A and B are shown apart, each in its own frame.
Chain A
Amino acid sequence: MASHEVTELLGAWDRGDRPARDRLMRLVQSELRRLARGYLRAERPGHTLQTTALVNEAYIRLVGQNRISWQNRGHFFGIAAQMMRRVLVDHSRRKKSAKRGASATIVSLSQANDAAPESEVDVLALDEALDDLAKLDPRQAKVVELRFFGGLGVEETAASIGVSTATVKREWVTAKAWLFRRLKHI
């Protein structure tokens, strides 16, 4: 897959071309699936999957050294976050149905070698909780998707959805409290 194609698709989407966006989503998803397969094959109990690393790798493979605008970069990571979430959820579902009673996939943004147990999350439970948060507050759920599944920083997240960094910080800190309470049943 030539990286200039992705750059062109991002530009086309920016000009309002919807099919370009659909094509981009398919490209990003298949790339993430391909990359994730490699990581997940080596999966062992307690293994943590680095979503940030995967998304970064997809970016390098699909966009490469091409110069793209800050806005298009935001678009790319927005799609990548959404697709990363889907890849992980599909994987967790398959694993759960293949091995009844097996523990769900654990992902962490932390580096695998020093991953703290506190940062580990059950993907299926998080996905479900995020859907509920989206019903309550769609923008806030989007912030979590971008930051957690896409590994976006505060500024990138702000640029991607067109709000201030202060807003992203407030949405993020309160979403974490909401999700923590929901997932830990406290």
Chain B
Amino acid sequence: MSPFPILLRVTPWVPVREVRRVSQEQDRSRTGRWRRIKDLLATALELPPSEREDFLKKLCGDDQEIAAEVVAFIRAHDEAGDFLEGEERE
């Protein structure tokens, strides 16, 4: 008898593993994407507001999606006011 039926029996596991691998990759890429946005956001926020747009245009270049995300976060930062802020322990 050929080993074929055995192989067929194990194949249903392959897609499951495949799905898990893909979702891990998505997680990694989401993490990487946030790290990139975070770095751009932090640097942009250290600049005077008037220079932020130029900075993003220069750095994001062809990636307009990332630039738009950073702009949305800058807006959130500006609106946040004293969100989560309060007195600190001395």
Q: A136-B34, A173-B45 given as contacts; is B73 within 8 A of A178 (CB)?
A: yes
Within 8 A of A (CB), among B1-39: 27, 30-31, 34-35, 38
The chain B residue sitting closest to A166, CB to CB, is B42
**Can you name 12 A-B pairs with beta carbons within 8 Å?**
A56-B89, A109-B87, A110-B87, A119-B84, A136-B30, A136-B34, A137-B31, A137-B38, A148-B84, A151-B89, A153-B88, A186-B76
Within 8 A of B (CB), among A164-186: 170, 173-174, 176-181, 184, 186
A40 within 8 A of B: no
Which residues on B sit within 8 Å (CB–CB) of A170? 38, 42
Give bound CA distance, A140 to B42, whole Å.
13
Q: A137-B35, A156-B89 given as contacts; is B72 within 8 A of A119 (CB)?
A: no
B80 within 8 A of A: yes
Give bound CA distance, A109 to B85, whole Å.
7
Q: Are A118 and B81 in contact (CB under 8 A)?
A: yes
Which residues on A sit within 8 Å (CB–CB) of B38? 137, 140, 170, 174
Chain B's nearest CB lies how many Å from the CB of A176?
6
A121 within 8 A of B: yes
Additional A-B contact list (18), CB under 8 Å, known A151-B89, A177-B74: A52-B86, A55-B89, A109-B86, A110-B86, A121-B84, A136-B30, A136-B31, A136-B34, A152-B88, A173-B45, A174-B42, A176-B80, A177-B41, A178-B76, A180-B80, A181-B72, A184-B76, A186-B72
The B contact surface, by secondary structure, is: helix
Q: Are A177 and B89 in contact (CB under 8 A)?
A: no
Instruction: Across the A-B interface, give the 3 residue pairs with the lowest CB-CB distance, nearest first.
Output: A109-B86, A181-B76, A177-B77
Number of B interface residues in the complex (CB < 8 A): 26
Binding site for A on B (CB under 8 A): 27, 30-31, 34-35, 38, 41-42, 45, 72-77, 79-89
Interchain CB contact (< 8 A) of A186 among B45, B75, B81, B86: B75
Give bound CA distance, A186 to B35, whole Å.
20
Give bound CA distance, A174 to B74, whole Å.
9
Q: Are A119 and B82 in contact (CB under 8 A)?
A: yes
